[in-house]
Amino acid sequence: MYSYLSSKFLALLNKQVPATGLGLFRIGYGLIALQEICFLLYFNHLIFDPIPYLDVEFPMIPAFLGFWAIIAICVTLGYRYQTTMLLNYALWILFVNFTPMQRDFDGGFDTFMIGAGFFLLFMPADRAFSIDNLRYKLSNPFKHYENYPKQTVTVLAYLLPVLICLGFLYFDSAVHKMFAPHWRNGLGTWLPATQPYYVSALDMSVLLNQKWFENAFSYTILVFQFSFPFFFWHRHARIAYLLIGMSLHLGITLSFNIYPFGLGMLCFYLLMIPFAWWRAIGHFMIAKEPVLTVFYDKQCPLCNRTVLILNHFDIFKRIDFKDAQNNATYFPELSSIELETLLTDLYAVDKLGNVYAGVQTYSQILQKMGYLKPIGILLSLPIIKSIAEKKYRAIADTRVRCDETCLVVTQLQNNTWYTKLFEHAFSKKPKSFTRKFIKLLSLFLILQLNSTIHFGLIYRFKLHNPLLTPLAQASDAIVLWSTTFVGIVPHALYLHDHFSGYDHILAITYTDKNGQEKWLPFINEQGRMLAPNWGRVHSMWANIAVTPNIDNWRLKKLMTKVIAFYGVNLGLDLNQTTFHIQMKKIRAPDVWENDLLHKNLAGTWEIIGSAIWENKTIKIDLPTDINAL
């Protein structure tokens, strides 16, 4: 068995594939991280203040979040990838473990992003669509862009993150689902989608009211999750898993208000798209022949760097760059122009034979690229054009040309962890590296099995034994470390222990200065959570504050946060405003019921308590046992 695994991994490590999917995955991850940081900035007082605006414990949080946003932008652009990815990974761990994000505002999304970030540290995601690629080229400007080889990576850079971040997650989640009656009844997707707190504004009742569809979809998900880690890598099965998985997570993103989790999972499917599809997309989008030919001075360092930059952003390959010294004579449109004149400016010829020079050339380049056309048109406007021409002449007329000595350059080297481990170390001792690699992967498998067996089986079957207490404590400690640094956690989300007894929801209204009762822009009259109170804010209210067994102390703590945050944002005088706690009965059965979503949305509210502020102290009156109402 070990010999088979060793030979298989050795073959996969040697198999080189395009880096396209990895580059897009990095961009997707960076954008998802950036939107979450913007979310944290918007809700920073709600999340990080003990009492929003009234008791500010972390005044420097916005500054740190701003720094993190810059890091996320650099990750997205692929600028100094290894450094910025490491900083992003460290910041995610620090924010989760040293702020209230984990205690009150975590819905599983943070651990998922930490796990994805951990693997991105070792993935060559900077090999495509990155600024770093451009930096490497600019360090040797006299090497023509066509002479740079296509960036390739080992196929394991695609397979392993999918196996561990998706495959292990799916299998663990499926084990937990088998203990949930509504999943066994084929209602796993139906039940959460009938609960007002969990649904988006998109009404999916057309599908929810088809029992056969919900049964088929739920059972398909169980089979999909159980089988995914064993068959997703097979080329004949990959497309089926790709389409089912993308449909599943696109549905989560659109129909539930936990869109960050859905987007994060959906992002991983960029790594499963067959390479033939990327080639087909490239064949369709890339121009069959250039629409503009640009001539430059090959002995000018500035000109060469300019060409490398422009070519880097010409993603549809519509521009062809040629050195004027060796190619200008082949174009009759330029025959009347002396070579020395050609070398003083950047000249271009389009397919119609029109000749452009200087700023006009730059304008045409940007327009012909397609996606930068607005900038090219802007550059051709009279006032902007005249300013650009003055700046252009100041630079072009003072540029220097290269002599023999400047042709000797030292090119930047790619020193990412992937390069050091998977290329340099592997190339020196491939068999030894493969053995160590298999042992490392076995460690990840053990970490996942520890979580699945301990929480998915022993905990569920209540197999606790005093003799096994030390082993259980060791297992808990391992889970703590694997959760913190690798994102391996139990994935028992939205199961029967979450919905059983979930028969009431709460909302908050207030009486304004005109005596009219209004709803806080948090929970509406239907019981739905309004945008942008989704993601981790939804988790805080729907999973921690309001549960089947409400803890009054925790409810009052989180209710205080919500009232203070929205009270101040609405410009209310807290000391002069009375807030009302509303309750509505809902149902969360284990058996299918027609039109349950609309029934839950249409329930009636009743006031069960109130909240009044005195200076910075709030007094909340609630029944001693809300669960008994």
Task: Specify the long-range contacts of residues 366-370, CB closer than 8 Å, at least 24 apart.
Answer: 368/291, 368/292, 368/318, 368/319, 369/313, 369/314, 369/315, 369/316, 369/318, 369/319, 370/316, 370/318
Q: Residue 411 above 70 pLDDT?
A: no
pTM score of the predicted model: 0.91
- Helix, strand, coil percentages (3-state) for the chain, rounded to 5, are 60, 10, 30
CA-CA distance, 234 to 118, in Å (whole number)? 25
Cβ(620)–Cβ(556) below 8 Å = yes
Helix (H) or strand (E) holding 499: helix 496-499
SS (H, E, C) 212-270: HHHHHHHHHHHHHHHHHHHHCCCHHHHHHHHHHHHHHHHHHHHHECCHHHHHHHHHHHH
Query: Which of 502, 512, 527, 522 lies closest to 605 in space, CA to CA?
Result: 527
Minimum mean pLDDT range among 196-205, 348-357, 380-389, 415-424: 415-424
Strand partners, 357: 347
pLDDT band for position 406 (50/70/90)?
low
CA-CA distance, 24 to 281, in Å (whole number)? 13
Which range has highest mean pLDDT (1-5, 65-69, 392-396)?
A: 65-69
Q: Residue 403 above 70 pLDDT?
A: no
Backbone angles phi, psi at 466, to 5 degrees: -55, -30
SS (H, E, C) 394-455: HHHCCCCCCCCHHHCCCCCCCCCHHHHHHHHHHHHCHHHHHHHHHHHHHHHHHHHHHHHHHH
Length of the chain: 629
Reported as a single tens digit per residue, the pLDDT across 141-190 is: 777 666 666 788 999 999 999 999 999 999 999 988 988 888 999 999 99
Two tokens, residue 361: 């050339």
Q: β-strand 319-323 against 347-350: which pairing, if any?
A: unpaired
CA-CA distance, 423 to 522, in Å (whole number)? 52
Reported as a single tens digit per residue, the pLDDT across 551-570 is: 889 999 999 999 999 999 99
Rounded to a whole number of angstroms, the distance between the first and last alpha carbons of the chain is: 60
Q: Which residues in 452-514 belong to E strands, given as ranges?
A: 504-511
pLDDT band for position 527 (50/70/90)?
very high
Average pLDDT of the chain?
88
Q: Calculate the CA 71 to chain-centre distance.
A: 14
* ∠ CA 474-478-482, rounded to 5°: 170
CA-CA distance, 496 to 188, in Å (whole number)? 10
Reported as a single tens digit per residue, the pLDDT across 113-132 is: 999 999 999 999 999 899 99
pLDDT band for position 1 (50/70/90)?
low
pLDDT band for position 451 (50/70/90)?
confident
Cβ(558)–Cβ(545) below 8 Å = yes
Judged by DSSP in three states, 579 sits in: strand
SS (H, E, C) 299-342: CCHHHHHHHHHHHHHCCCCCEEEEEHHHHHHHCHHHCCCCHHHH
SS (H, E, C) 56-119: CCCCCHHHHHHHHHHHHHHHHHCCCHHHHHHHHHHHHHHHHHHCCHHHHCCCCHHHHHHHHHHH
Q: What residue ranges do the domains of the chain occupy?
A: 20-126, 500-628
Mean pLDDT over 568-576 rounds to: 92
Q: Residue 518 above 70 pLDDT?
A: yes
CA-CA distance, 458 to 4, in Å (whole number)? 32
Q: Residue 37 above 90 pLDDT?
A: yes
pLDDT band for position 461 (50/70/90)?
low
Cβ(367)–Cβ(373) below 8 Å = yes
CA-CA distance, 452 to 167, in Å (whole number)? 13
Mean pLDDT over 196-202 rounds to: 90
Two tokens, residue 587: 């149902």
Cα separations (Å) of 204 from 258, 414, 447, 587?
Answer: 16, 49, 38, 18
Q: Residue 193 above 60 pLDDT?
A: yes
Mean pLDDT over 276-293 rounds to: 88
Q: β-strand 504-511 against 517-519: which pairing, if any?
A: antiparallel
Tokens 């599908």, located at residue: 207
**Residue 341: what residue type?**
T
Mean pLDDT over 203-217 rounds to: 92
Cα separations (Å) of 262 from 69, 111, 265, 270?
Answer: 21, 14, 5, 14
